[in-house]
Amino acid sequence: MKYRTKQSRLQATMRKFVKVHKVHSFTTQEVSAWMIRMGLFPIPKRGDPKELCEEWESNLDSIGKHKLPNQNIVREMQK
């Protein structure tokens, strides 16, 4: 899969997360904040955004396999 920009790659990663967990009612910021809090997204510091994206994507793939219960996600995001 080719992305035009690093930003579009991040957005695709985000869409995949939303789709897997059916959290469509939340904003992108809420989803990303939740993912960072759960340690699924490393908090961006320095380094290559491409590597960061790949790390996020591999985390997403492993989440997809486990399919966390949606109630837990909603509760966690509402904190």
What whole-number distance in Å separates Cα of residue 57 and Cα of residue 55? 5
Q: How many domains does the chain have?
A: 1
pLDDT in tens, 20-77: 666 666 666 666 666 666 666 655 555 555 555 566 666 665 555 444 445 555 566 5
Residue 62 lies in a domain: yes
Report residue 14's pLDDT band, with 50, 70 and 90 as the boundaries: confident
Q: What is the pLDDT of residue 28?
A: 63
CB 26 within 8 A of CB 78: no
Domain of 67, in residue numbers: 6-78
Residue 7 predicted with pLDDT over 60: yes
pLDDT of residue 69: 46
Residue 52 forms part of a structural domain = yes
* Domain presence at residue 1: no
